[in-house]
Amino acid sequence: MLSGKHILLIISGGIAAYKSLDLIRRLRERGCRVTPVLTKGGAAFVTPLSVSALAGAKVHEHLLDLTAEAEMGHIELSRAADLIVVAPATADLMAKMAGGQADDLASTLLLATDKRVLIAPAMNVRMWTHTATQRNIARLKDDGILFVGPNEGDMACGEYGPGRMAEPLEIVAAIEKVLADGPLKGRHVLVTSGPTHEPIDPVRYIANRSSGAQGAAIAAALVQLGADVTFVTGPATVAAPAGVRAVRVETAQEMHDAVMAALPAEAAVMAAAVADWRVASRSDQKIKKDGKGLPNLSFAENPDILAEVSKLKTGRPALVVGFAAETENVAANAAAKRKRKGCDWIVANDVSPETGIMGGAENAVTLISEGGAEDWPRMGKGDVARKLAARIAETLLKG
């Protein structure tokens, strides 16, 4: 499965670098070509000679190396491989990545690449749990960086906790998963998810009960099929899945702008529970109880993102999927909504409180298309997502 694949392996400085020698061996056993890059810190733990001997290739170490640049420039190097793997990834290198710094060869390659990046962090438990590192991790995940590990266990420094680099075979398995050629490989799919928040004043807002679970599961299922996913999410309680390009928004207007900026896409799945109205009388200052009675809120209609994308004259995604959250006459209301909004499919669900669907783990949907309505049995949101993603792949590949 990995035979013929080309990995650019960046080894940064940490005691776990010794495991990367084994990783090189495991990758080569599987027919992988490995181009190693050693940071200054990495070279303090493993020697260029051992890395090069195991990889059967030259080790790249310096950014401004005239001979290396003449053979293969760093920009070319950053794009030649199928995947960039950073193992171990130190807290420092992750901070550089999160900040977009490029002050040595490894960080420059990571900034210049157009390939996916999988990192295997390794560091002391305190460094891993530090707010700064956690902030960088969230940033990197938003940027679509893939993670394997770290694992929890005894550390070389004598402490215990998360921070141990994943084992070489776990890293190999993660690489196999990333490089698996799914049917949607190279296809851009846009997913919206979560609620929107519509401010009343600087401290209050109108929201809804959407957790973002279904949208996140759909995005994850599309990533599994190899799609290049832009995930535009409101303030959801469920985290954005790994491997997507996450764009965080708050209001419906911001979601609209982010969706338009992310187009073109081959398919758009609008799973967000967008607020239909915003507060037109939004106050810049906190509304006070001033004894003059209750505040009067006036509303304005938000842009209907689904309808607008569905009705685009140029650049309309080949497949536009909307959701319908209904509390009565589910199939009939949803079929009318499909026509009104101009989308291809509507995934309709009953969000009456007694179903426990909104904010819950399961969903029972009806898929409405031009061909009619199809009831799916009640199942986990992950299963709904996988079934829908498979249907999307089938349709895009036919078209």
Q: Does residue 305 belong to the site contacting ligand CTP (CB under 6 A)?
A: yes
Please, which residue, 104 or 326, has the CB nearer to ligand CTP?
326
Closest approach, Cβ 24 to ligand CTP, in A, equals 46
Which residues lie below 8 Å from residue 281, measured CB to CB, with a gap of 6+? 296, 297, 298
Closest approach, Cβ 260 to ligand CTP, in A, equals 12
Of positions 220, 244, 324, 358, contacts ligand CTP by CB under 6 A = 324
**At 52, which amino acid appears?**
S
DSSP 145-214: -EE--PEEEE-TTS-EEEEEPPPHHHHHHHHHHHHS--TTTT-EEEEEESB--EEEETTEEE-----SHH
Of positions 221, 274, 279, 384, contacts ligand CTP by CB under 6 A = 274
Q: Does residue 304 belong to the site contacting ligand CTP (CB under 6 A)?
A: yes
CA 54/CA 77 separation, integer angstroms: 19
Please, which residue, 166 or 255, has the CB nearer to ligand CTP?
255
Please, which residue, 188 or 337, has the CB nearer to ligand CTP?
337
Q: Does residue 276 belong to the site contacting ligand CTP (CB under 6 A)?
A: yes
134: phi then psi, degrees, rounded to nearest 5: -60, -35
Of positions 37, 323, 367, 389, contacts ligand CTP by CB under 6 A = 323
Where does residue 292 rank: exposed (0-12), middle (13-18), buried (19+ CB within 10 A)? exposed
CA 119/CA 8 separation, integer angstroms: 12
Is-cis flag, bond preceding 88, omega within 30? yes
Where does residue 293 rank: exposed (0-12), middle (13-18), buried (19+ CB within 10 A)? exposed
Closest approach, Cβ 212 to ligand CTP, in A, equals 12
225: phi then psi, degrees, rounded to nearest 5: -85, 5
Q: Does residue 247 belong to the site contacting ligand CTP (CB under 6 A)?
A: no
Closest approach, Cβ 207 to ligand CTP, in A, equals 13
Q: Does residue 159 belong to the site contacting ligand CTP (CB under 6 A)?
A: no
Closest approach, Cβ 76 to ligand CTP, in A, equals 42
Of positions 272, 331, 367, 385, contacts ligand CTP by CB under 6 A = 272
Q: Does residue 302 belong to the site contacting ligand CTP (CB under 6 A)?
A: yes
Q: Does residue 300 belong to the site contacting ligand CTP (CB under 6 A)?
A: no
Q: Measuring CA to CA, which residue among 151, 97, 159 is closest to residue 126?
A: 159
Which window, 28-36, 170-178, 301-309, 358-366, contacts ligand CTP (CB under 6 A)?
A: 301-309
CA 228/CA 96 separation, integer angstroms: 24
Q: Does residue 184 belong to the site contacting ligand CTP (CB under 6 A)?
A: no
User: Residues with catalytic annotation?
Assistant: 157
- Coil, helix or strand at residue 83: strand
Q: Does residue 322 belong to the site contacting ligand CTP (CB under 6 A)?
A: yes
**Bridge partners, residue 36, by sequence:** 9
Q: Does residue 198 belong to the site contacting ligand CTP (CB under 6 A)?
A: no
Closest approach, Cβ 70 to ligand CTP, in A, equals 53
Please, which residue, 244 or 306, has the CB nearer to ligand CTP?
306
Q: Measuring CA to CA, which residue among 4, 10, 187, 193 is closest to residue 90?
A: 10
CA 100/CA 389 separation, integer angstroms: 33
- Coil, helix or strand at residue 92: helix
Please, which residue, 306 or 357, has the CB nearer to ligand CTP?
306
What is the size of the binding site for ligand CTP (CB under 6 A)?
A: 15
Residues that bind ligand CTP in the complex, under the rule CB under 6 A: 192, 252, 270, 272, 274, 276, 302, 304-306, 322-325, 337
